[in-house]
Amino acid sequence: MTPVVRLDSQVADGPRTVFVEDWAATYGSPYLVQPDEPLHADVELVEDGGRLVAHPGVPPSREVDIAFVDGVRRGEASLYQHNHATGAVTYGVAGGHACGAVLGDGQTLSFGETRVRRLVIWGAGLTGVLPPIRGGWWWVPASVASSAPDAPLKELQTRMREDEGRLAEDLCERGYLVVIDGPLNFVRSRELPVVGYVKTHYRALLPEEHHSRIPELQAGERTSLFRLGSDRYSCYLRLTRRSATSSPWFGIVRLEVPQSSGLSAAIEVTNHVAGAIPRYAGVAHRDPRAPQNLQPIGALEKHLRHLLGHAGLAARAVREAVDALI
């Protein structure tokens, strides 16, 4: 049980309660909302007549195949190109990314398709090829226009998210109820009811009178849907029961669904997700980001890191490839 400390009630603005965050400290907090942060400019409740209402999840009336999609990426060596004539330095990175899915039929879960790629990415629009190295190490050359030192690593992250989006769309077209870890930024189709699953809250999206009521959710309940910008609907969901000493936002995640799928379809799919995924909530003795990091996602991340190979061997292979250029 998470301990609670009652502070001196004589503080200027009244009594306070101190909670210990359930996530391991090395992962930070899933609730990073600043009280003075401006609200999202284009948000509107679109369900329940503009009121914020708690809706219990509704499991599908029949067994529905579900897919959890996620990816991992790893920068394995920072690289530099030095122009002897001008003294200019161009930054690059050699690394890999992988994405995949855990598939469920209502009874069992299993790993589905995985996609693994290894790249050497250069900034400032430059390209450079690394020769393959024995042991199966090879890199596809790529470039990014920006010359910022961190641009190649950001491009590696972007390419991972794009692969995740493509895989999520493929599985949705095959009839799966698809939950992709993270927002829907890289899901290109806005016709498919892919569900984005957001674990960390960076800003308040709803006005204070609604935002302050989100912690009232009980396990398996979601809030009314709200419009988020011009292309997404969203809602909050509590995965599991909160104890009296847990943080108010314990186990609360945010779901995203494309607006173009229609409001009625969005309501149906979020009801089904709210009814289906609490059973997969992470457990603290296995995952430092429990309960928000779902068990299938945690297992998939571990599986994908294994497919990327040993990080030390990958870095050594990059050094051998660079040595071969000399």
* DSSP collapsed to 3 states, 167-231: HHHHHHHCCCEEEEEECCCCCCCCCCCCEEEECCECCCCCCHHHHCCHHHCCCCEECCCEEECCC
Largest CA distance in the chain: 70
Q: Which two tokens stand for residue 224?
A: 């009314």
Q: From CA 210, how far away is CA 249, in angstroms rounded? A: 14
Domain total for the chain? 1
- Note whether residue 225 is domain-resident: yes
Closest CA to 23 of 41, 50, 2: 2
Indicate the Cα dihedral angle 312, 317, 323, 324, nearest 10°: 170
- Note whether residue 21 is domain-resident: no
Residue ranges making up the domain that contains 258: 4-8+29-325
**What's the pLDDT score for residue 287?**
94
C-beta of residue 51 within 8 angstroms of C-beta of residue 41: no
Secondary structure E strands in the chain:
4-6, 17-19, 43-45, 55-56, 66-82, 89-104, 109-122, 140-143, 177-181, 195-198, 221-222, 226-228, 232-238, 252-258
- Note whether residue 13 is domain-resident: no
User: How confident is the prediction along the chain (326 residues), in pLDDT tens digits per residue?
Assistant: 444 444 444 555 677 888 888 899 999 999 999 887 777 779 999 999 999 999 999 987 777 899 999 999 999 999 999 999 999 999 999 999 999 999 999 889 999 999 999 999 999 999 999 999 999 999 999 999 999 999 999 999 999 999 999 999 999 999 999 999 999 999 877 678 899 999 999 999 999 999 999 999 999 999 999 999 999 999 999 999 988 778 999 999 999 999 998 999 999 999 999 999 999 999 999 999 999 999 999 999 999 999 999 999 999 999 999 999 98
Q: What is the pTM (predicted TM-score) of this model?
A: 0.92
- Note whether residue 150 is domain-resident: yes
- Note whether residue 291 is domain-resident: yes
Instruction: List Cβ neighbours of 208 (8 Å cut-off, separation of 6 or more).
Output: none
